[in-house]
Structure formats: structure tokens, C-alpha cells
Amino acid sequence: MDPSGRMTCDELLDHSYFDHFRNWFQPELEMLLAKEAKKVAKSKSRMHVSHKTDFTDKILLPPSLHQS
């Protein structure tokens, strides 16, 4: 078949063959995406905590700026 005569991806996805395609796979894909998002959020939170350093106790302030 001549490649210029082929349907585009958009045209193929609009074809009736794919009408119920989303219904078959969407629940599973949503579950997998949610699971992956949780892993990413968890790893970002761990990275944020592990790299967080509080230097406030190391700062030498003049007595007039000390908080009571």
C-alpha cells in the first residue's frame, strides 16, 4: 500500500473499531497511573526530607536579634 494513501493516526483512532477501546483499558490504566503517581510523590517526599538541612542553629546572631 502506498504510504500516502494510509489513514493517519487521528483518523484511525476515530474509526469505529476503536469506539470501545478506551472502555476496555481505561480502568486498568487509571489504576496503574495512580500507583505510579504515588510512587513518584513518595520518592520526591523522601528526597526532599533527606536533603533538607536546618542551619538555623548554626547561625550566629547578635544578641539584639535573638528571639526569646
Summarize pLDDT for 11-62 with one digit per residue, the tens: 988 888 888 887 888 899 899 999 999 998 888 777 655 555 555 555 666 6
**Residue showing cell 513518595:** 42
d(CA 13, CA 7): 10
d(CA 1, CA 50): 57
What pLDDT, on a 0 to 100 scale, did the predictor assign at position 14? 86
18 with 12: CB under 8 angstroms? yes
What pLDDT, on a 0 to 100 scale, did the predictor assign at position 30? 92
What pLDDT, on a 0 to 100 scale, did the predictor assign at position 51? 55
3 pLDDT exceeds 90?
Answer: no
Q: Which residues, at least 6 apart from 41, have a Cβ–Cβ distance to it below 8 Å?
A: none
What pLDDT, on a 0 to 100 scale, did the predictor assign at position 44? 77
What pLDDT, on a 0 to 100 scale, did the predictor assign at position 60? 63
